[in-house]
Structure 1
Amino acid sequence: MLRGLSAGLLAPLGWPAASALAATGGGVYPNRPVRLVVPFAPGGATDTLGRLLGRAMESSLAQPMVVDNRVGAAGAIGATAVAKSPADGYSVLLGGVGTNIVLAYTQPSLPYDPVRDLMPVAYLCNVDYVLTVAAGSPYRSLDDLLTAARKRPRAVSYMSTGMLGPLHVALEYLSKRAGVSMVHVPYKGESPALADLLEGRIDVAVMTVPFTRPLVQDGRVRVLATISAERTASMPDVPTVAELGFAGYAVPIWNGLFVPAGTPAPVAERLHAAAATAIGAPAMRERMVALGVTPTGGTIAGYARFLQSERERWTAMIRDTGLMAG
C-alpha cells in the first residue's frame, strides 16, 4: 500500500520539453552519472534504501546513480558535502529527520543550514525503528529495561546512529518521560553497533526494522517496542512505546531527496519525477514494504510544507530533552 502518494505525482508532469531537457553547464541533464550521497555506513537500512532507489531511478534518468557513503556526525558530513556541491543536480542527498531537521537545533556549529542550503526534491518514505536487545539480555520488555535504569542510574546504555541526531533525541525524550538516566553511545550506523549489542557492551539499540528483522529470525536479538506512532506491518506483534505507558510518544523517522539550494527547477523536477516513478512501481513498493519502509510521495511543494510541520514538532521535543543548542 502506497500511502500518501498522489495520483498526480505519477502522471506526466507537463512542463515544456525544453525545460525537461534542462541544460546545466551545457548538454542535457543528466548527461553524466549522478552522485547519491548516503550519510550513513554501508550495510545499514539507509544505505540499502539508497542503493535500491538509485537502481530504480537509473532507468528514468538514463544515467547511473552512484551511491557515495559519507559517514559521520549523525549524517552532517554527508549533508554538508551535498550542501556545498555545485547546484547542478549531480549531487543528491538521501536526507532525513536528522540531516534536515534535528541537527539544525542540536549542533550550533553545523556547517550548513538545512533550510537555506538544501532544497527538497522528493518525500520518499517513512522508516520504522525498534528498540532492540541481544537475545541473551535480561531485559525482556521495555518495562524491564526502564526499571533497571531507575534502579541503577547511568548503568544502562543505549546506541544511536549519531550524537545529537534524531535517535539520540528519541531516547533522551523517552528517558525524560520515564524519569531515568541512561548512557548514550553513538555509532556511525547500525552495522558498526551490532557486534557490541550482541556481546553486551551496549544494552539496547535503536535500529530499523529491515536491519533488525533477519536478526530476530536468526534468534540473535529481541525487539521490545517500536518508536513509531503505529505498529509496523512487518512486525505486528511488537507494541509501540505509546502503548506501553507513554501516551502520545511517537518519533517519526522519514527519508527524502534533497539537492543544493539554487538547483534549477527543471532539474529538481526531473529528479522528482524519477523518484516518483521509482516508488510508484508495484515491484518497488513491495520491496520497500518488505524492508519495513512505507513509501510516501507527494509534490515538491507538499514536501516543503511537511518539512515545516516537522520542524515545529521536533523543536518542541528537542526543547523538552534539554538538547537544544544555545
Structure 2
Amino acid sequence: MNELTDLTELRDLFADKPHPTADRLAPARTALLAEARTKRRPRARATGLRRLMLAGGLVAAMTAGVIVVQTFTPSAPASAAEVLRLAAEAAAATPWPEPRDDQYFHYEWIAESRAEKGVPNVVPRHITGEVWESVDGSRPGLLWHKPAKSIPRGNEYKVTRCPQRGNPAYADLRGWPTDQEQLRRKLAERGNESVLNKDAATQTWYGALGILGRPVPPKLQEAIFKIVATLPGIETEELKDATGKSGIAVTRVDNRGRESLIFDKTSYVLLGGQELAPGRGRELWSVIRPQITDVLPAWSTSLKRTSCF
C-alpha cells in the first residue's frame, strides 16, 4: 500500500500570538467558498454519508513548521463526484507552507491488516511508524518502525531510508502540469506501471492513488481531484481509517479489489485509505501529524548510513 504522512498540538508554541482558531478563520473561508459557489448553478444536495480528501471545508495554516487544520461544516455531498469537487475547492483555498528543497516532511504512518471472510493466514496487526522524507529527494530520510500493538515486545527498529526511486519527490511534483489533459495523461502513465494494459480510467485512478497518499502541492491536488471526479465507477461509503476514526470514503472497484480514499466527515481532510483485495484481506493506512522540519532527529547520527546511489 502507499507509504504515507492528526496533527501536532500547538498549545504552548505561540503564547504571545493569537491562535488561528476556527472562529477567526472560518468566517473568511466560509465567505470565500460561498462566493465561489454562487458562480455556479445551484445543485440539490441529498443527505448522505460520503467525504473526501482536502475538500470543501478545509483550511490549513502553517506556523513554525506545523500544519494546522481549521474546519467548517458544509452541506453533505450528494455523490462521490461532489465530494471530489469540494476537495478541489478546499485545496485551492488552503494556505499551504511551501517547504524549501533542503527541508524534510515528518509524519506518522499507521497501517492495519485484518482478515476477511474466506481469507486464510492473514494475521491482524496494527503498526505505527514515523517517517522523515526529503523535500527534494536528494537526501536519505528516516523510518522509525514502532512495535505493533499485536506484538508489543518486538518489531521496533530505526533505519535510514533512501529516496524511493521512481516515485516523485515533493519538489518534483511542483513541476507537474495542472492542465487537465496533460495531467490526465501523466497520471495514466504512472498508473500503467502498476496496472499494465488496463483501460485509461483504471490507469488514471491508480496513478492518482500513488500520488495522493503523500504531501502534494495544493494546485496539483486541486487538479487531481477534478480529474478523479470524472472517472466512471466511483462511489461513496462510510469507512473507518487505520486509527479507528469514521470517515466518508470515495471507492472504486475493479478486478484487483476495492480501493478507497477515506476523508473526514466535516473537514474533508484525507484520513487515509483502504485496500480490500481478493485473497489478501483488508489493509488500512493513515498519515497523521504532518510537519516540516529543517533537520533529522539527533538520534539519526547513531544509525548506520545507507548507501543510496
TM-score bucket (shorter structure)? under 0.3
- TM-score w.r.t. the length of structure 2 is 0.25
Query: Which structure shows the bigger proportion of residues in helix conformation?
Result: 1
